[in-house]
Amino acid sequence: MSEISEQSFEQLLKEEGSLNQIHNGAVVKGTVIGVKENEIVLNIGYKADGVISKNEYTNDSSADLTQLVQVGDEMEVKVLKVNDGDGQVVLSYKRLAQDRSSKQLEEAFNNNTVLTAKVSQVLKGGLSVSIDGVRIFIPASLVSDSYERDLTKYQDQDIDFVIIEYNPRRRRIIGDRKQIMVARKAEMKEALMSRIQEGMIVKGKVKNLTDFGGFIDLGGADGLLHISEMSWGRIESPKKLFKVGDEVEAFIKEIKGEKIALSLKFPDRNPWLNAEEKYAVGNIITGHVARMTDFGAFIELEPGIDALLHVSQISKSHVDKPSDVLKIGQEIEAKVVDFNPDERKISLSMKAIEQDAAEEKDAETVFEDVAKPEAAPAVEEDESVAEEAAPAEEEAAPTEEKAEPAAEETAQDAAAAEE
């Protein structure tokens, strides 16, 4: 071998020894020397450059690598194949991240660590989240501590969970969000129960509505707002007054163990507090027919105060039953004829108003008769006097005629005397 050949061979061995010795599965560092839309080229310090396809960089098929990576960026990658047949090294950024993530997930599984990830997909049976390309499935039954029909609201939302099953060989990793919610609510409930007491005003949101009331989420515990405690008046259905999600301010009526009874019937808003003055006996009031029985109708004067209009007090005329002349919801005017504050009973009468009106009319008639002047008889008397006076005037007329000749005669006599 010539001296030049020996030197070249030694140089090649030296250069070969300075290059990275890589193999399939090795983790190497590289510098980006070229980026295309679907490919990244790295200098990994080897005799051949390394190539990362888009599929080995991200799971996003619509991604443009030129927008994600810049020339000069450094990254760690995993060697998939030393020679792809074209003299290039096949690399993967995604799989290295998955390997590291899998290790972290295994540690999280062993330590029951709470993880946070964004929901990448809403499936028929639950939610799918991803951590560095590793897919974790959360069954619908473990998404919440209560049944949820629609899971679409979780799409793209960050949620907390723990891993309850880890089997990388079967690619089966199961997450659980429910136990986190249960644990947190237990802490919140303990804190809530330690600070609340009967009579305290609290705020919450309507969580659920039933025919008998509504459940109000107080933040850690639910309080029952019974239909009878929703208003001083009568409520047909809680669903006509509230809807799920409404904010409610109520006071705690009773705490019995872990059960909390709420009420909206605040004592200082009791309509009976000033009812004695508003509905005193003799007052004329208006109200609406709330319900009817055979013996009378109950009139709602205001929410929480009903009065009885007995069938015998509906009209001066005979009424067999209230429904013959009244309708539910009809506005009526009546007179308060009895008020019992102890029993909270008020009696009304429409007939009394009719009687008062009739008596007033009779009184006006009597007054008119008494106050009217007796002018008519006086006129008749004057007319009769005039009739009687007429003949006298007629008789006086001839006398005047007779008197005129006498006056003429006297005048003649006076003239003759002057002569």
Q: Is 220 left (phi over 0), alpha (psi -120 to 50) or beta?
A: left
Residue type, 353: I
What pLDDT is stored for residue 6 in this prediction? 52
User: Residue 411 has what pLDDT?
Assistant: 37
Cα–Cα nearest to 121, from 93, 84, 143, 152: 152
| Cβ contact 170:136 at 8 Å | no
| pLDDT at residue 403 in the model | 39
Whether 29 maps to a domain, the answer reads yes
CA distances from 83 to 42, 48, 49, 218 (A): 14, 9, 10, 64
Nearest CA among 180, 116, 122, 174 for reference residue 151 = 122
**Runs of H (alpha helix) within 347-374:** 351-371
Helix (H) or strand (E) holding 188: helix 178-195
Give the pLDDT of residue 308.
96
The CATH number assigned to the domain holding 330 equals 2.40.50.140
Tell me the backbone φ, ψ of residue 250, rounded to 5 degrees.
-135, 175
Q: Both 288 and 336 in a single domain?
A: yes
Is 191 contained in some domain?
Answer: no
| Residue positions counted in the chain | 419
Rg (CA), the chain: 54
Angle at 70 between CA 64 and CA 74, to 5 degrees: 120
59 and 33 inside one domain: yes
Residue 173 in any domain: the answer is: yes
DSSP letter string over 394-406?
A: HHHHHHHHHHHHH
Do both 223 and 236 map to the same domain?
yes
Q: Does some domain include residue 6?
A: no
Do 64 and 139 belong to one domain? no
Q: How many domains does the chain have?
A: 4
Domain membership flag for residue 189: no
Residues 6 or more apart whose Cβ sits within 8 Å of residue 321: 292, 294, 311
Residues 347 and 293 in one domain: yes
Mean pLDDT, the chain cut into blocks of 10 residues (419 residues total): 50 47 87 92 91 88 89 92 84 86 89 94 93 90 90 94 91 94 92 94 95 94 95 90 94 94 94 92 95 95 94 93 94 95 94 87 67 55 47 44 41 40
- Same domain (yes/no): 265, 285: no
Task: State the burial class of residue 129 (Cβ atoms within 10 Å of its Cβ: 0-12, 13-18, 19+).
Answer: buried
Report how far residue 202's alpha carbon sits from residue 151's, in angstroms, rounded to the nearest whole number. Answer: 30
Pick from 189, 162, 194: nearest CA to 178: 162
* Half-sphere exposure (Cβ direction) of 277: Cα atoms closer than 13 Å: 3
- Residues 71, 126, single domain; the answer is no
One domain, residues 209 and 262: yes
Residue 120 forms part of a structural domain: yes
Residue 297: predicted pLDDT: 95
Answer yes or no: do 261 and 280 share one domain: no
Name the DSSP class of 55: G
User: Please, are residues 219 and 188 in contact by the beta-carbon 8 Å criterion?
Assistant: yes
Examine the fold and report which residue of 181, 205, 220 is the final residue of a domain before the chain moves on: 181
Is residue 3, in this structure, part of any structural domain at all?
no
Domain region containing 327: 271-357
pLDDT at 401: 43
Looking at the structure, tell me whether residues 239 and 278 fall in a common domain.
no
Are 281 and 259 within one domain?
A: no
- What is the reported pTM? 0.57
Asked if residue 30 is part of any domain, the answer here is yes
